[in-house]
């Protein structure tokens, strides 16, 4: 029968569990680990973990390990052995760089160099996809099935989950309706919903662009602070408005509004990055200290929406070469790049300079 959740639905359940502080169980290769997100872990569950025995680890990304001067023997991740006296404050200090400058010495941190790290790597991917700090507490479980059943925990077989952790969820159109906007009265809003339970994405279609010609298009990542609040720390709001106005003047175009706040790390982590910028780090350095890459967004989502709407070629409004590269790889040709240089001010000039020098933006 079809009542049991499939692997995509179980992954959505696992993300929700991690965000609430509920443990999950990952299995694979004849082994299993209990996993908890460091950000949402509480004292009671940490104490109960100690009772189980064994050697718990806090798993962090290679980026975070570099900041903490911990050896990442697994390359992209590091499995840090949990000291016997480590409390919740210590765990949060390893996971969250907020107090790195005030308390730079977190160690010495002893990291594992032997054994398979695939389950730990999958744990971090899940925690990151839940938009939490990329740090997970893990413990090997000898009788995982019985343990999960006894405690009602979600079990994720990593062999089934792996393809879904590295691919983009299929998107389906939900509804579209006429929406006159300031930039163009001939506006139409399309809603697309991913199968994996993630956030919906939107397409604002201006006019009736022909599907057999390159359409003026922009991939715009959601920016609550810039698009809604008018933040001066970035150029997102001005870019959004300028792109829509250009499409309105052109009589047609498509703006994809992708819910990938903060370059894909979520609003809470973006605010953590802003706090680090206030301490003197640039936008790339802040992301790295948090344990993220420069840019965690998946622009394949935009290509899928465009193809679903019938477009195969775009005149792309962007300064980001990575968007062009991703579009081409995903099967949407970009015969022309249209520059979009607006919104520079005294508060974001350093940010824009960093995007140009470290992320290759064509500014």
Sheet holding 253-258, edge to edge: 171-178, 187-194, 201-206, 253-258, 215-221, 313-317, 333-338
Helix (H) or strand (E) holding 228: none
Among residues 48, 99, 297, 315, the one annotated as catalytic is 297
Strands of the sheet with 31-37, listed across from one edge: 77-81, 57-61, 135-140, 31-37, 24-28, 154-157
> For this structure, is 45 an active site residue?
no
Is residue 79 annotated as a catalytic residue, yes or no?
Answer: no
> Using CA atoms, how far apart are residues 326 and 159, in angstroms rounded to an integer?
27
Phi, psi of 43 (to 5 degrees): -65, -40
Classify residue 158 as exposed, middle or buried by CB count within 10 Å of its CB (0-12, 13-18, 19+). Answer: buried
- From the candidates 17, 74, 96, 295, which is the catalytic residue? 295
Run of H or E including 214: none
How far is Cα 265 from Cα 291, in angstroms, rounded to an integer? 10
For residues 39 and 78, the answer to whether their CB atoms sit within 8 Å is no
d(CA 34, CA 139): 5
CA 49 to chain centre: 28
Rg (CA), the chain: 22
Residue 214: which residues within 8 A CB-CB, separation 6 or more? 313, 314, 315, 333, 335, 336
Q: How far apart are CA 194 and CA 172, in angstroms?
A: 6
Query: What is the helix, strand, coil percentage profile of the chain, to 5?
Result: 40, 20, 40
Active site residues: 295, 297
């Amino acid at each position: 029968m079809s009542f049991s959740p499939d692997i995509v639905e179980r992954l959505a359940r696992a993300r929700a569990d991690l965000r609430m502080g509920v443990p999950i169980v990952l299995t694979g290769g004849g082994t299993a680990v209990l996993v908890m997100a460091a950000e949402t872990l509480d004292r009671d569950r940490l104490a109960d973990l100690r009772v189980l025995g064994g050697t718990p680890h806090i798993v962090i990304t290679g980026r975070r390990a570099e900041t903490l001067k911990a050896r990442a023997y697994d390359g992209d991740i590091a499995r840090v052995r949990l000291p016997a006296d480590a409390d919740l404050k210590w765990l949060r200090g390893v996971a969250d760089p907020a107090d790195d400058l005030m308390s730079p010495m977190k160690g010495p941190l002893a990291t594992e160099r032997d054994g398979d790290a695939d389950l730990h790597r999958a744990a971090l991917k899940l925690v990151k996809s839940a938009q939490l700090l990329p740090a997970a507490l893990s413990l090997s479980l000898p009788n995982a099935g019985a343990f999960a059943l006894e405690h009602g925990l979600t079990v994720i077989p990593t062999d089934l989950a792996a393809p879904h952790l590295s691919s983009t969820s299929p998107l389906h159109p939900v509804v579209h309706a006429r929406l006159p906007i300031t930039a163009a009265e001939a506006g139409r809003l399309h809603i697309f919903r991913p199968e994996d339970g993630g956030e919906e994405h939107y397409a604002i279609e201006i006019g009736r662009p022909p599907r057999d010609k390159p359409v003026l298009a922009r991939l715009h990542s959601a920016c609550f602070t810039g698009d809604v609040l008018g933040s001066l720390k970035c150029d997102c709001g001005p870019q959004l408005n300028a792109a829509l106005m250009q499409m309105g003047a052109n009589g047609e175009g498509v703006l994809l509004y992708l819910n990938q706040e903060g370059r894909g790390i979520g609003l809470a982590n973006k605010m953590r990055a802003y706090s680090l910028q206030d301490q003197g780090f640039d936008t790339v350095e802040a992301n790295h200290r948090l344990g993220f890459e420069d840019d965690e967004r998946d622009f394949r989502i935009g290509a899928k929406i465009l193809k679903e709407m019938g477009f195969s070629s775009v005149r792309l409004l962007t300064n980001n070469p990575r968007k062009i590269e991703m579009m081409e790889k995903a099967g949407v040709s970009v015969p022309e790049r249209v520059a979009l240089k607006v919104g520079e001010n005294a508060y974001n000039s350093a940010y824009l300079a960093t995007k140009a020098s470290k992320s290759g933006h064509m500014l």
